[in-house]
Amino acid sequence: MRGQRMSIHSMTTWLKRQPPKVKAFLAVISGMAALVLLRFIVHDHDNLFVAAEAVHSLGISVLIYKLIKEKTCAGLSLKSQELTAIFLAVRLYCSFVMEYDIHTLLDFATFVTTMWVIYMIRFKLKASYMEEKDNFAIYYVVIPCAVLALLIHPSTSHHLLNRIFWAFCVYLEAVSVLPQLRVMQNTKIVEPFTAHYVFALGVARFLSCAHWVLQVLDTRGHLLVALGYGLWPPMVLISEIVQTFILADFCYYYVKSVFGGQLVLRLPSGVV
């Protein structure tokens, strides 16, 4: 075990010394290798989406445990939860008027849980809320997402307003975790339950991204054509990739901390 930790420490030390371009290149190569591995291991790629939902649910369960048992919301971003509630509410509306299916029920369950978390942070556990650390201005993401949705949205036969709403929730979901990352960057130290929750989000979004990428490859690009024409199809794929890369840096430090036997995650400057 000690030898394993030494090798991991040597690897992380080597990575720290590399310039940003090399780190970015290694991240891309690692992501591509993971996609190739998943393509051969998972035969039905729809299972990746199911796995993403399961991991996300696990992360929410950890969050619920933290709020009920620990009776503290320290380290959690209220603004991230509010952004999550916004895009889920919009997506639920779009699901009801455009394509009601099983994912609508899953989104509804997540929305109810998210509203409960917001209630707990705002009222029941307000004393432990780190408001001064949760200083990310949400209009920095809401306004650009709204403008982008006005310009680039699906080209289906649905009403224009519904198509704009659908694009808005796709874009907002991709960046909704940014306030949470800002809180963790400001505190520098992330307690275990918050770290587990954010790591679960990262894994879920990677699996969701892998599902989309592999579906595009399996259909030889026909899936993008089915989504419509213009810039919307590639924007959907880009949004999935953005979600993954936003959390990639945190997930790296999380794995490093776990293998190093550290219960509390310490983030260096410049992670976000």
Report the mean per-residue pLDDT for the chain: 80
Q: Residues 212-263: pLDDT tens digits?
A: 777 777 776 666 665 666 788 888 888 888 888 888 878 877 877 777 666 6
Q: Is residue 3 in a domain?
A: no
CB neighbour class for 158 (10 Å; exposed up to 12, middle 13-18, buried from 19): middle
Confidence band (pLDDT; 50, 70, 90) for 133? very high
pLDDT exceeds 90 at position 86: yes
Distance from C-alpha of 238 to C-alpha of 242, rounded to nearest angstrom? 6
Give bridge partners of residue 266 from the DSSP assignment. Answer: 189
pLDDT exceeds 80 at position 101: no
pLDDT exceeds 70 at position 175: yes
What tokens were used for 85? 């509630």
What backbone phi and psi angles, to 5 degrees, belong to 26?
A: -65, -35
pLDDT at position 26 is: 54
Of residues 97 and 269, the one with the higher pLDDT is 97
pLDDT exceeds 60 at position 25: no
Lowest mean pLDDT among 91-95, 199-203, 231-235: 231-235
Q: Is residue 4 in a domain?
A: no
Q: Is residue 6 in a domain?
A: no
Q: Is residue 18 in a domain?
A: no
Q: Is residue 253 in a domain?
A: yes
Q: Across 32-46, 87-101, 114-128, 233-247, which has the greatest mean pLDDT?
A: 114-128
Lowest mean pLDDT among 30-34, 67-71, 192-196, 214-218: 30-34
pLDDT exceeds 60 at position 32: no
Q: Is residue 8 in a domain?
A: no
Q: Is residue 19 in a domain?
A: no
What integer is the mean pLDDT of 188-193? 83
Count of C-beta atoms within a 10 Å radius of residue 175 = 21
Question: Tokens 């587990």, residue?
Answer: 196
Nearest to 205, CA basis, from 173, 249, 172: 173
What pTM does this model have? 0.80
> What range defines the domain where residue 157 resides?
32-262
86 to each of 79, 115, 197, 204, 262, how far by Cα in Å?
A: 10, 10, 19, 19, 35
pLDDT at position 38 is: 58
pLDDT exceeds 80 at position 272: no
What tokens were used for 77? 């971003």
State the total domains in the chain.
1
Q: Is residue 172 in a domain?
A: yes
Question: Tokens 């008027």, residue?
Answer: 97
pLDDT at position 165 is: 95
